[in-house]
Structure 1
C-alpha cells in the first residue's frame, strides 16, 4: 500500500510512523526546510479534557465523535509517542480540567523523523502539495507535487492531509476569520498556507465547523521584534488579571471568559488594527500564571521592543495612552466605570460583562502593554468522521483521502482544545484507517 502524507509536522510524522508500523510504503511531503512544523515552537503540552462533558462544555461547537476519539485514545497515544522516542518533560498539565503530558518538542520531532526514515519511509523536504489527483470515480490516487525542480505527479493508494490549516495564508484568514481587512501576526511557521485545505475542497470535500475561529495568543505589538523560538516566552497570557481596552479606549471583551484566554484573543482580532492595550496595577503585576509572574511577562514584552507604559496614577496612564492616540477622557470613563462595578461586585453587569474574578485597578504603579492578536493555527478545516475520512457535502467519504491535526476541522469549534492532541491522536487514527481500507 502506497501512502502519501502531505505535511511533516507532528500530525504528518505521527501518521507516517504509524502507517510504516502497519506495513505501508510511505512518502512524506514537507513544504518547509525541516520536519516538525510548529510543534517545535510550542510549549510541548499534549492534553485532553478529563471527561466528555467537560470537553463538550469547553468546545460546544465541536464534533462529539472526534472529541470522544481524542479523549479515549490520548493515553495510549502518549505511550506510543514516548516509545517512539518522544522525550517527556512532565506527566502533568498544571490544569485540573485536563490530563496529558509535556514533551520536549525538538528532540521528539527529530525522533519521529528518524523513525520514519529508519523504517524505510521517504521524508522529502521543500515539496509542496499543489493538487490532488483523482480517478474517474472520484477516488484520490495521488497528488501534484511542486519542488525546486518543478512539478511532478506522485501516485498513491491514499493521501493523508496534514499541512496544518491556513494560518499562514493572509487572504484565507481575512476571508474566513477577520471577515474584512486586517492582518493577524503569525505565531507559527510560515508554511501552513492552506494547500491541503484548498486541494481537498477542489476534490469535492466540504469544510467542517469553526472556519471563523482560530487558536492564538496576544503578543507584544510591533515595533516588538522576536523570532519563532520566543513565541512562548513573549506571549502575554494574563488578560484575566488586566483590563483590556481597544484603541478607542473601550473594553471590548470579557477578559475572564475562559481559562485559556482564547476568546479574548479572538476578540482582539476583531478590533481596529487587531490591537489592544492590557492595563494593570501593581497587584496584577505580582500575580502568577503557571511558572511566571505577570510582571515577568510584561518585562518579556519590553525586552523585545514592545510598548510598555508606566504611570503613578490612572490619570497619568490615560494621559500617556492619549499621546498614543487612545482618547484619554473616554479611557478614564471606562476605567472608572469598571472600577466602580468591580468594587461593588457588579462586574457581571458591565457591557461587556466581566466573568470570574474582577480585580479593581487601584494599586499604583500602573502599566499598559500594547498587544496584537496572533494566530497559531486555524480551528476550522475539513469535515471528517471518526476514522479521519474526509467527507463530501452529502456526508459520504472522498475515497482515499484522510486528514489529521488541525487539517481536520470540528474538534474544538466554539472553544479551545489541544492542537497537539489532535495531531497525535488523529495522526495515528488516519494512518490506521487508510491502511485498513487499502488492504
Structure 2
C-alpha cells in the first residue's frame, strides 16, 4: 500500500478542519486534508456569524454544565480567532449582540473557506471524495490514517499529528437516536448531509473518551410539514422569534420558559408528545420580531408569511375567541389554548413556567399561529478534548498524536449553546498550534 508522510493530517474540510490546516501551514508544517465530500466547507457554508459570550461569567451562567476548561478556552480564544480570520484578508464586521448574551461578528464564511482552500492547495495537499478507513497506531500513539481515494485505491498517510474535524454525526439516524433522543432521527437536518460520525468512529476505535449522552444538540424550531428545499432555508425557516412567543404542546400546555432562547426550546420540544407544538405570537411580536432582523445586519424576513406560503400549518386569529376555530385535525384544543394565553397574560412575571426575559403579555390581536417542530444542526455529544484540542483517552491522559475540533468534540456544551462557528475556529486553531508545538518541541 502506498505510503506518504506529512506533519499534520486533517480529516474533514469544514470550518474546524480548514482552519487547522491553514494555521498549520502558516506555522510552516506540511499538511494533507482528507475530505469525504466532493467540496470543502461543510456546514460553515451556511453560516454568517462567529459569536460566543464576551466574558467568562456570562458563559458560566448560560452553560453551567459545560466543561470548564473548554468554556474558558472558547472565551479566551475568540478574540485571537477573529484576528486570525482578518489576517487572511477576510473582512469581519464590528461586534454586535447575538441572542441576549452573546457577541459576534458577521463575516463571509465562503470567502474564508475559499482562502483556506487556496492556501491548502498552494502549499499542502487537499484530497476530496476521500474516505478515512482507520487510524494508524503504534505503541498507543496515533501516527496517521489509512484512506480510500475516489478511484478506490487505498493509501497510508503517516503523520506526526492527526486532527479529526468531520463535523459531527447529525446525518446518522442510528447515532442521533442513541446519543440525542429516540425521536431525533425524525428531525429535519439543517446541516450538510455528510457528517455521519466518521470522527467519532475513528476516535472510539483507538480508545478515546466521549462526553455525556443526552447532552443535547443545536437546532431551531421550524414549521411542521415544510421541507427544506436548499440550504438557504436553514435560516429562512428557523423561527428564532419563538423566545418572544408562547409555545403549547399537544396537551394544550406551556412546558418550558420560551424566553431563554429558541435553540433551548427546540431541545425541550423534542421531548414532548409527537415532538410538535403550537407557537403563538401577537401583533407586537409580529411587528417587532417576526418581520425584523434577528441579529443586527441580518436580512429581515417575514417568517410567518414564508411558512404560510410554503404550506405550513399556519393561521391568523383576530382575537383569542377565534382560537375556537382552530382546525380539529391539528390535534389541539383552541379554546383551552386561548384560556392559557389569558391566564399567562394575567399572571405577568408570576407565570409558570416562567418567562424570565420577556414577560410582556400577548394581548393585542391579530394572533399569528404556526405549528412547529425541532430541526437538527449538530449534536453536543462527541470526543472529549483538552483546551489544546488533544483527544482524551478513556483510560486517562491524552492519546498522543490525536486531536479533534469542531462538531466532532463533546463536553463544551450541555443543554446550552454559545456558538458553533466560534468553537470550530477556536479549537481548530488550538489543535494546529499544539500540533506544531509538539512537532518542534516548543513550549506551550
Contact 1:132 1:142 in 2 (8 A): yes
- Relative to structure 1, the CA distance from residue 263 to residue 151 in structure 2 (aligned partners, 3 Å threshold; closer, same or farther) is farther
Contact 2:82 2:92 in 1 (8 A): no
Contact 2:267 2:374 in 1 (8 A): yes
Q: CA deviation at 1:181?
A: 6.9
Q: State the Cα deviation string for residues 123-155 of structure 1 (Å, max 9, x = none).
A: 1111122321212x1211222323432252432
Contact 1:29 1:124 in 2 (8 A): yes
The worse-fitting range, judged by mean Cα deviation, of 285-294 and 46-55 is 285-294
Q: State the Cα deviation string for residues 174-200 of structure 1 (Å, max 9, x = none).
A: 111113575211011101111101210
Counterpart residue number, 1:252: 255
Q: CA deviation at 1:19?
A: 0.7
CA distance in 1, matches of 2:300, 2:338: 20
Counterpart residue number, 1:388: 389
The worse-fitting range, judged by mean Cα deviation, of 126-135 and 398-407 is 126-135
CA distance in 2, matches of 1:99, 1:313: 38
- The RMSD of aligned alpha carbons is 2.2
Aligned counterpart for 1:46 among listed residues 41, 47, 50: 50
Aligned counterpart for 1:141 among listed residues 143, 146, 150: 143
Secondary structure of the structure 2 residue equivalent to 1:150: coil
Contact 1:211 1:381 in 2 (8 A): no
Secondary structure of the structure 2 residue equivalent to 1:344: helix
Contact 1:210 1:410 in 2 (8 A): no
- Relative to structure 1, the CA distance from residue 334 to residue 355 in structure 2 (aligned partners, 3 Å threshold; closer, same or farther) is farther
Q: CA deviation at 1:318?
A: 4.1
Contact 1:224 1:305 in 2 (8 A): no
1:193 aligns with 2:196: yes
CA distance in 1, matches of 2:414, 2:220: 17
- Relative to structure 1, the CA distance from residue 308 to residue 337 in structure 2 (aligned partners, 3 Å threshold; closer, same or farther) is closer
Contact 1:87 1:108 in 2 (8 A): no
Q: CA deviation at 1:226?
A: 2.6
Contact 2:102 2:418 in 1 (8 A): no
Structure 1 segment 323-334 matched on structure 2, within 5 A: 323-326=329-332, 328=333, 331-334=334-337
Counterpart residue number, 2:421: 420
Structure 1 segment 243-282 matched on structure 2, within 5 A: 243-256=246-259, 258=260, 260-282=261-283
Contact 2:215 2:415 in 1 (8 A): no
CA distance in 2, matches of 1:221, 1:87: 37
Counterpart residue number, 1:20: 25
Structure 1 unpaired stretches of 5+: none
Structure 1 segment 26-425 matched on structure 2, within 5 A: 26-42=31-47, 44-94=48-98, 97-118=101-122, 120-135=123-138, 137-150=139-152, 152-155=154-157, 156-180=159-183, 182-209=185-212, 211-256=214-259, 258=260, 260-288=261-289, 291=293, 296-326=302-332, 328=333, 331-345=334-348, 347-348=350-351, 350=352, 352-425=353-426
The worse-fitting range, judged by mean Cα deviation, of 177-186 and 274-283 is 177-186
The worse-fitting range, judged by mean Cα deviation, of 285-294 and 367-376 is 285-294
Q: What's the TM-score, normalizing by structure 1? A: 0.91
Q: State the Cα deviation string for residues 372-427 of structure 1 (Å, max 9, x = none).
A: 21111112211111111101123311111100112221222241111111111110
**Aligned length, in residue pairs:** 429
Secondary structure of the structure 1 residue equivalent to 2:186: coil
